[in-house]
Amino acid sequence: MKRLTGVGISLLFMAVLILIVAAFTFRQAVFTSTPYSLKGAETSTLPNETATLLPGTDVVSPLPTPVATIDPELQGYSFDEPRTVITHKSLILLGDWLPNSQDISVLLNDAVSPGLEQIQTFDVTKGQLRSFGNRQSMFIARRPIWLSDIGKMAFMGANLPGKDGIAAPTHLWITDPGATDLSLPAVEDITAAAGSGHLVLVTKRGQSQPSLIDAATGEQSIVPVDLKSYGIDVDGLYLQMVWHPQLRRIAIFDPHNFLVLDLDSNHVDIFDLGYDNDEYHGAGPRWAFDARWSPDGQYLALITTQGTPILPYAELSVLDVATHEMVNHDLGHRYVTDVTWSPDSKILLTAAVVDNAEGKNHLGLFLVNFVGGTNRRVLPDTPITGGQFGFGLNWSPNGEIVAIYCPTSDEGRVCTMNVQAPQR
């Protein structure tokens, strides 16, 4: 177990990599009555909760803003103004879309029982929420994993609060729709998890080899790959894993390493994300604190940085998994907060902090053609206030909707934007 005192206090500053939040005081949770019917939606009655803005987000890039070349590919996309579909008195975190492009996972802070976080899916067509359990709020939040083969949700989290400054152990839970409280974990004391279909890969505390869990049968097996031998700290607070969209391949990364593990061959591919040595980026090896596979599985979109504890920047990078080539994209702003792929794996939609006023991060949305290196800002006149890094933007699998966290100064909100893609 990790203490959150001493060294843990200094780690709070490092939390800028995922935990940058706007300072809001929220009201009673409600759901919007338009544009969707919300009959039968679950409601929430949560007391007020305040999040604090961490330092470092008000610094703009000293470099000139790149001049976006007119790119017909990018000009062909149009986005409707955001429409509110959920409001909530506290912070909302956006997870991943389910394959039906109708439901999206959301995490709602729940202070009825202090420190709890509700794992839900939200149906954007019917306006209905489904519960998959309540976990203790995490120092670094982790996305739920939809297991499409069995219609269940897998996620990591603690079911008990920590005591005396010591965090409670984090377990793997596999739950059915309608679950509220957590009872029996699938695997105890884990540090990272990734999954797809009916399989979940986890790293366990103190165990250098990961475990593969068949959620349909409960069978567990050890993967004969020693992650420690590749430099991975299996007990590390910032260890993450992301599952390939089609294959049994998992990106595994921490502040020092980036690997892709093939579960069929047990082959490990090692990636060098480069080294910074200039006035703007600083000096040091670059590492990723967020990763998204392209839908075709050929690329990884990363949010990269270097150094700790107050990160000098957060930049969009695209890694070609086959060639190991990585291209960094400067959007003219110091902190990229979110990235999501178009379904055809050709275009990226990103959010970046464009200014900071009255203690709030204001975001701009940028389309990026990563092959040509061009970008285009979309909806430049629409004010968008930021939330936690990595949990504010997601493009639906069918390409028709983008979900975005869109809070006001009074409440947390999730909005959707209809998308019209260019004809090909």
The DSSP-derived string for 32-46 is --SSS--TT------
Check pLDDT > 70 for residue 114.
no
Residues 381-390: tens digit of each pLDDT: 998 988 889 9
Please, which pLDDT band fits residue 9 given cuts at 50, 70 and 90?
Answer: very low
* Angle 384-102-350 from CA coordinates, rounded to 5°: 35
Q: Please give the share of the chain, as a percent, with pLDDT higher than 70.
A: 82
- 360 vs 169, which has greater pLDDT? 169
What would the mean pLDDT of 285-294 be, rounded to a whole number? 97
Between 240 and 424, the higher pLDDT residue: 240
Mapping DSSP to helix (H, G, I), strand (E, B) and coil, where does residue 12 land? helix
- Amino acid letter, 290: D
Determine the pLDDT at residue 109: 85
Q: What is the pLDDT of residues 178-188, one digit of tens each?
A: 998 898 999 99
What pLDDT sits at residue 388? 85
State the pLDDT at residue 69. 60
Determine the number of helices (DSSP H) and then strands (DSSP E) in the chain: 2, 30
Give the pLDDT score at 5: 29
* pTM of the shown model: 0.85
Q: Averaging pLDDT over each range in 64-73, 164-173, 265-274, which range is the top one?
A: 265-274
Q: Residue 300 carries which side chain, given as an amino acid letter? A: L
Task: Band the pLDDT of 120: cuts 50, 70, 90.
Answer: very high
Residues forming a β-bridge with 417? 402
How high is the pLDDT of residue 48?
Answer: 31
Kind and range of the H or E element at 169?
A: none
State the virtual CA torsion across 138, 139, 145, 146 in degrees, nearest 10.
50
Q: DSSP labels for 334-392?
A: SBEEEEEE-TTSSEEEEEEEEEEETTEEEEEEEEEETTTTEEEEESTTS--B--STTSS
Assign 73 to helix, strand or coil: helix
Query: Cα(376)–Cα(246) distance, rounded to whole angstroms?
Result: 30
- Asked whether residue 14 carries a pLDDT value surpassing 50, the answer given is no
Helix (H, G, I), strand (E, B) or coil at 8: helix
Q: Mean pLDDT over all residues of the chain?
A: 84
Nearest to residue 394, comparing CAs of 94, 193, 183? 94
Q: What is the pLDDT of residues 203-229, one digit of tens each?
A: 999 999 999 999 999 999 999 999 999
pLDDT above 70 for 22: no
